[in-house]
Amino acid sequence: MTTEQVFTDATRASGKALIEVSGVDKFFGDFQALKDININVGLQEVVVVIGPSGSGKSTLIRCINRLEKHDHGTIIVDGIELSDDVRNIQEVRRETGMVFQQFNLFPHLTVIDNITLAPRQVRRMPKKEAEELAMRMLERVKIPEQAHKYPGQLSGGQQQRVAIARSLAMQPKVMLFDEPTSALDPEMIKEVLDVMVELAKGGMTMIVVTHEMGFARAVANRVVFMSDGQIVEVGPPEHFFTDPQEDRTKLFLSQIL
Amino acid sequence: MTATAERAPAPPRASPLGWIKERLFRNVWSGFVSVVLIAVVAYMGYRAFAFVFINGQWDAISRNLANFMIGRFPRDQIWRLVAQILLLGLGLGVGAGTASGTARDKAEESGLTYEPPTLLGTLRRFWSLIAFVVVILFMAGTRGPWLVAGGAVVLGYIGWQSWRLPRTVRLLSWLVTGLLLLAAFQVVSGTDGLAWVPVALVVAMAAWLVVPVDRLDSPWRQLAGLGAAAAGVAIVYLIYQEIAAPGVGWDQWSGMNLTLWWSAIVITLAFPAGLLLGLARRSSLPALRYLATTYIELIRGVPLITLLFMGEFILGFMLPAGTSLSSISRSIAAGTLFTAAYVAEIIRGGLQSLPLGQTEAGQALGMGTPVILRKIVLPQALRAVIPAMVGQFISLFKDSSLLFIIGVTDFLRVRAIVHAQPDFRVVAHAETLVFVAIGFWAIAYAMSRESQRLERKLGVGVR
Amino acid sequence: MLRGVGQVVALAAGAAVVWWLLSNLITNLNRSGIPTDFGFLTRPTQFTIAYAPAFEARSPVWQMVLVGIKNTLLAGFVGILLASVLGLVVGIARLSENWLASRLATVFVEFFRNIPPLVVIIFFGAAVFTFGPLPVLSEAIEISVPGSSDTLLLLSNDRWGIPGFVSRGDVPAYLGVLVVGLAVAALLWIWRTRVNLSIGEPHHRVLWSLAALLAFAVLGYVVLGGPFGIEWPSLSENRRVIASGFAMNWGFLALTGALALYTASHIAEIVRGSIQAVPKGQTEASSALALNGFQRYRFVVLPQAMRIAVPPMINQFLNLIKNTSLGVAVAYAELATLTRISIGNGRPAVQSIVVMMVVYLAFSLTISVILNVVNRRLQLVTR
């Protein structure tokens, strides 16, 4: 039941997976971080990846936009196969947005410049158009009034929301989240999760690595449990949390819930 | 998931060809750069090879090795230098052993593992120094230098065994190190005149520290410490009255010997001076603070050569008529004045890097300011500045070459002696310069590697 | 309380020592009949300066000081320029993925950082020039311009000649043309920037402006009938001096070349350190946004790296200027050398050295002020 390709209704409807990961291994020196990963993510699917630290969850999504290079197997994003070809990689990165645990906003640029940088340089958007797009994104994440501040002047929650707006401004097909709330103070987690929930409800395809089970229960189509570089169990949240199949999953869930 | 257990894939191994492609020819630009660089390296390698092995006139150096190492030192007193090298070997061995012992103690306490240095590890660590010494020994041709070097290594190894000593004797071990180093200095410079002063200072410090502590700041402890220190000073003085004998004063030291000792002496004198200056700079008394700051900014704004000129031309006038100082003494004074300002800034940086919470914690515990300074602030601050101090010493070592300009025969200026010889008046200039450059480089490189290593070990991060 | 007393005592003791030294100084100077004023500055120097034929022995000493300052700054600026360019290249090479480039850059840095600058200077002075492979001036090596009989470079062990500019016509008019060209370039810059803002097309404004400037430079030259010419270096009739072109003496070349190499090794380390200090997350975020390598460097990495690099680089510039004082070793007529010569010629030592120190202090204070201004402007805005 675990590594079987499980498609959601939406994917079956379109007939094709947005992201196909087949037989992927990843080594750091002699240490194997990913072992034979097979997973497909369909259009408008929200996949939440959970697992103990060191299980390879971050490595997996970083392989999808080539921040890490996978060693065996194939990764296909929106029909483009990831290879060493730079143009390939750039195409994939245009279609994927990533939100980091440490926000990684550009501290020397204002919020609006942070957001408009990539659309202007990569998609050759004129400045005015890019700024209008940026303001729309800022409104989507509910902080339009911060447009001309610098990241250093914002709270953690605001910075992460700017980071989300920055990725959205490139109008990606899929958003990758690498533990987006792990570096936030508790009172700011909710504001970021709310934005993510709204994104999901709006139909964005998302892969989210997180410890926030509430989020998973609310919007995930599938929950994936990884441990020691392998996908141990996959399932819809209704079944996953109430009736896990594998022992390792049960152990992990008992530790965190 | 079940499939994984049977497959066991292997990590990708890079083939040599793959490495070349990846590292040298990844793209067109990289390939072009690689080709150009290979050509350049090949040509320079060929020229260097010819220079070193074929047409270089290295006899200018092999015939002048003694000059390079000890310059104009009176040749009949060479036994002093031999004794110095042996004592230095022993002293540095004991010092290294004691430091190693202290490191082991700390590791034991905190549960970390201590990795004792291996022979291979030490060879790799100091490869530039060892290579330089070996090359010189081979050039020397005679057996004498080999015996001396071997003796120093053996004594160093014996001294190294001090790491086995129990913790209670550590302080004594440090004292012995200090005395051995001083002895190495005085076996050449002589034990007459003021020679007893530095030894008395070291013994007094050790005596003060050895007096057992029962309560912090008990007045009896202070008194007992002072008494022990005074007793130490008296004993040393009396001993020196007995063994007073003139030696070869530092005015006659030259060559590499002078370069090394000059740097060591200047940093030793500049450290307490710089410490006091650094504290003065943070003093609550505005006049003191203002003067210290002015001095520091003044010195740091001018090149060392101006101070050396001051020493050469002005210092003589500042002393009562009739007193004369040798060139070397004047340059040491100038160097100390110069370095003290930089040491003061380093210490200021160290003091500032200490979180305010440390002083506040001490105050909350009811300690007075001098105690806080001595027991909390200074130990941490001084530990934090060790890498910067080593860097300053390396700088000083390189700056010692400026002695050349004021006519003192340091390692660099020995070339003047060599090229005054009829055989080498117009030839071998490049060879002697390369030799001098490599001599400086071998030592400075080894020190700079040690400094980086220290920085890593002390965990003092670079911001 | 005790501490306060201790500080007062320290202050008093220090003051007493200084007072004692100074009074000795004045007494001894007076006794030796050496003047204690600065009048010597207006009296004739009584020696000439090598390679500076315009300076006469009867010129007052303060003019000699000016020559020293000018030479110091000349070596300083040229050295800073060369060191910055070389240091930048080597620093970036150290981070290159090309193994050869990064290794060679490392060797360069580790070599020059660990030898005294004086050794490098003397190496250039002795092994390249004075006792080196270059011939004497009368038999200088003449490297011709390819395809003609004019000399491009004159190389000897004493002086080098490079092409110089000489006025042959209406130079002010040409300068006027250049100014117009600059204005046009500026307008083009603005226009291209507007285009980029409005329709998003890459502005390439640097290329456009440079092309315009070049066009004006060339056209102006042609139209005005060659208002200036290149004067090729050549030897005089008696083959004793360089009669045309621009001459550089060996002291300048040795000092500047050596300091450029030495300081470049430090600047390379600063450049490397500053680029490595930019957090990895910044490059990851810009990669994730599909910015290519050049865009990453230009918009994200370099702006942040420069903030970190500028203060220590300015410090290195100051060090280079202070190190020009080593020109004494190659008899280059910068301030320290001239001071030393003039003291040797009987000028009062104390005052001369004071003048020298004041000048160097002026340099370093100026640079400190610049550093502070730059530091303030580089601060990132935080709350």
DSSP B190: B
Sheet containing C159-162: which strands, arranged edge to edge?
A: C141-144, C151-155, C159-162, C246-249
Helix (H) and strand (E) counts in chain C:
12, 8
Q: Please name which of B236, B245, B239 lies closest in space to residue B199, comparing C-alpha atoms.
A: B236
Alpha-carbon distance of B341 to B280, in angstroms, equals 12
- The domain ranges of chain C are 56-163+232-378, 173-223
| Backbone phi and psi for residue C150, each to the nearest 5 degrees, phi listed first | -75, 150
| Backbone phi and psi for residue A226, each to the nearest 5 degrees, phi listed first | -115, 145
What pLDDT does B4 receive? 44
CA distance to partner chain B, nearest, from residue C353 (Å): 7
Interface contact B441-C31, CB threshold 8 A: no
pLDDT tens digits, one per residue of A173-211:
999 999 999 999 999 999 999 999 999 999 999 999 998
Residue B222 has pLDDT above 80, yes or no: no
Q: Which residues of A touch B1 (CB under 8 A)?
A: 2-3, 230-232
Alpha-carbon distance of A46 to A223, in angstroms, equals 9
Mean pLDDT of chain A: 89
Alpha-carbon distance of C242 to C233, in angstroms, equals 7
CA distance to partner chain A, nearest, from residue B26 (Å): 11
Helix (H) and strand (E) counts in chain B:
23, 0
Provide block-wise average pLDDT over 10 residues at a time, chain A (257 residues): 38 70 91 92 92 90 92 91 87 94 93 94 91 95 93 94 95 94 92 93 93 89 92 89 86 83
Task: Tell me how long chain B is.
Answer: 463
Q: How far is CA B284 from CA A49, A151, B355, B376, C136, in A?
A: 59, 39, 19, 19, 63
β pairing state of A222-227 and A46-50: parallel
Alpha-carbon distance of A249 to A230, in angstroms, equals 12
Alpha-carbon distance of C88 to C95, in angstroms, equals 11
Neighbours of C224 (CB within 10 A): 16
pLDDT tens digits, one per residue of B286-337:
888 898 999 999 999 999 999 999 988 888 888 887 777 888 999 999 999 9
Q: Residue B159: exposed, middle, or buried by beta-carbon count in 10 A (0-12, 13-18, 19+)?
A: buried
Interface contact A232-B1, CB threshold 8 A: yes
Domain C56-163+232-378, architecture per CATH: Orthogonal Bundle (1.10)
Q: Which residues of B touch C339 (CB under 8 A)?
A: 309
Q: What is the ipTM of this complex?
A: 0.86
| Residue C382's pLDDT band (cuts 50, 70, 90) | low
Interface contact A122-C287, CB threshold 8 A: no
**Cα C250 from chain centroid (whole Å):** 16
CA distance to partner chain A, nearest, from residue B24 (Å): 17
Q: Please name which of C257, C253, C309 lies closest in space to residue C278, comparing C-alpha atoms.
A: C309
Q: Taking a C-beta distance cutoff of 8 angstroms, is the pair C193, A126 a contact?
A: no
CA distance to partner chain A, nearest, from residue B1 (Å): 6
Q: Which residues of A touch C291 (CB under 8 A)?
A: 117-118, 121-122
Alpha-carbon distance of C253 to C259, in angstroms, equals 10
Most confident by average pLDDT, B447-451, B457-461, C139-143: B447-451
Q: Which residues of A touch B3 (CB under 8 A)?
A: 36
Q: Taking a C-beta distance cutoff of 8 angstroms, is the pair C87, C267 a contact?
A: yes
Interface contact C113-B310, CB threshold 8 A: no
Angle, CA A188 vertex, CA A187 and CA A192 arms, to 5°: 140
Instruction: Taking residues C41-53, report their average pLDDT.
Output: 80
Residue bearing tokens 């981070």? C95
Interface contact A32-B12, CB threshold 8 A: no
Q: Taking a C-beta distance cutoff of 8 angstroms, is the pair B127, B63 a contact?
A: no
Element (H, E) at C55: none
Out of B26, B321, B412, name the one closest to residue C118 (CB).
Answer: B412
The secondary structure of B276-303 as a DSSP string is HHHHHHT-SSHHHHHHHHHHHHHHHHS-
Q: Which residues of C touch A158 (CB under 8 A)?
A: none
Q: Which of B330, B401, B449 to mutate to test the interface with C (most CBs of C within 10 A)?
A: B401
Q: Which residues of A touch C302 (CB under 8 A)?
A: none
Q: Please name which of B320, B295, B385 lies closest in space to residue B346, comparing C-alpha atoms.
A: B385
C97 contacts chain A (CB < 8 A): no
Q: Taking a C-beta distance cutoff of 8 angstroms, is the pair A79, A196 a contact?
A: no
Q: Which of residues 311-330 of C touch B (CB under 8 A)?
A: 322-323, 325-326, 328-329
